Amino acid sequence: MTTLAPDSDTLTRDALAVLQPTFAGTTTAPDWLLRQLENGMTGVGLFGRNVVSAAQLADLTAQLRAVRPDVLVAMDEEAGDVTRLERLGGSSFPGNLALGSVDDPELTRSVAARIGRRLAEAGITVNWAPSADVNSDPENPVIGVRSFGQDPELVARHTVAFVQGLQSAGVAACVKHFPGHGNTNVDSHLALPRIDIDLTTLHQRELVPFKAAIAAGSRCVMSAHILIPALDPDRPGTLSPAVLTGLLRAPVAEGGLGYDGVIYSDAIEMKAVADTYGLERGCALAVAAGADAICVGGTPSDEAEVLRLRDGIIQAVREGELSEERLHDAAERVRALAGWTAQARAQAPADEPDDDTIGLDAARRALRITPSTDGTPFQPLTRAPYVAAFTPVANIAAGTQTPWGVAAELDRLLPGTSAGDHTHADAERAGVEGLAAEVLAAAGDRPIVAVVRDTHRHPWMARTLTALLAARPDVVVVEMGVPHAPPTGALHVATHGAARVCGRAAAEVIAGREEAR
């Protein structure tokens, strides 16, 4: 057991060390953040709201590093649908499902290495990625294309490749969401998912990618706010000693995974935790359960909140809910990670000239193209089309600001392309037949390209598409989510994600520019 200094300053600095806050939409570091880094806080999380350009991001991280040279700067740059570096224009790299559909681990490793180098150049030291979840429930509203797929072994080999690629660039990987967020139709940003599976299934499916990532040396693992009664009937994974200590930390000989790296919590303010336990107690319970670094993520922090969370952790120690030894162990693990990232940055190989060739090549290889079921050969479009984007409610992890679709890329190839955004609210207002009629009226005699995401999860989308195809069988359909529904249309293009490069790859096919490959 670690021997602790008796002074209260050690306790205060340890409580600050485990907190990894974010801050409001400013592109320079606020004074309070720099002050708390001097006081003992070890790291910060950045989101798209803090990024306008690579140069600005590098300046921001340099500000942080001037105060604390080994500062942990984390970001969830999954690529694909979840990007912070390129939130304003869309990612230069396809996401996990696209890479999984290609199933070339060397390609995945190369993509992750390129992402890692971009992060390292910007001063990011921890990437909250990749998602190691096995997307076994097609109705999953929060994972979907963020998963490499439904097969545990496939997910495992690509999780390993992604971890290796990232860490080769000196950026710590953080595989998520332990012990697996794939078998649920509830979004933990909004509520507490309950996953009723037995331990045999858990070990044979959900845990397979995490075991592989641990064996590959992933520096971090992120917990999930999910309830698995077979492990703990009362508390979600992030707050459960049975999940974090009894399963993730416990030696393999005792039935655990034997993990010795840093455990990050998922964003502690997500409703699955905050609505039941509150932020202060949620932080303390997470550390007591085995978490080392508490992500205070999607909701921007300020100094008052950070100090309130710090004091909540200290109070939990004084009241006996959290041992001082466990808190110190967590703080020391985080500090050790900071030391590793500083060393890894210094040892990372020199960068190569940057372009999107790797990402675009991966997006092209991920396309699955299905011609019309009536056997009619598809003739590439030669006239500017109308692009009807059927837009579902945004995935909270991805956000609403990142553009998606094929309209911009088609306009580049077929100038004069126009587009319309059509939502569930439109279907409720006009009915699916009425919405289809509105699309037909907007298109006139132009070709129509219908762009959808997860058609199988949205009945309004599927029914509107059916009505549209009944009137215009020549409609081209582009599925940019999980392609679980049967292909339809004069041409069906499944991109396995909505990154910018996925849109470009689909547009090349639609406009007959496949020679660009």
Looking at the annotation, which residues are catalytic?
189, 266
Peptide bond into 179 cis (omega under 30): yes
| Per-residue tokens: 189 | 């940003």
**Separation of alpha carbons 134 and 208, rounded Å:** 9
**Separation of alpha carbons 205 and 462, rounded Å:** 30
Residue 491 bridge partners (DSSP): 371, 476
DSSP 252-316: GGGTS----SEEEPSPTTSHHHHHHH-HHHHHHHHHHHT--BEEEEEEEE-HHHHHHHHHHHHHH
| Per-residue tokens: 315 | 């109070």
Pair type for strands 368-371 and 491-494: antiparallel
Q: Is 308 exposed, middle or buried (0-12, 13-18, 19+ CB in 10 A)?
A: middle
**Separation of alpha carbons 3 and 11, rounded Å:** 13
Q: What angle do CA 58, 60, 61 make, to 5 degrees?
A: 65
| Per-residue tokens: 124 | 């990011």
Handedness of CA 200, 206, 208, 210 (dihedral sign): negative
| Per-residue tokens: 409 | 């890329």
Q: Where are the beta strands (DSSP E) in 318-376?
A: 368-371
**Separation of alpha carbons 264 and 44, rounded Å:** 12
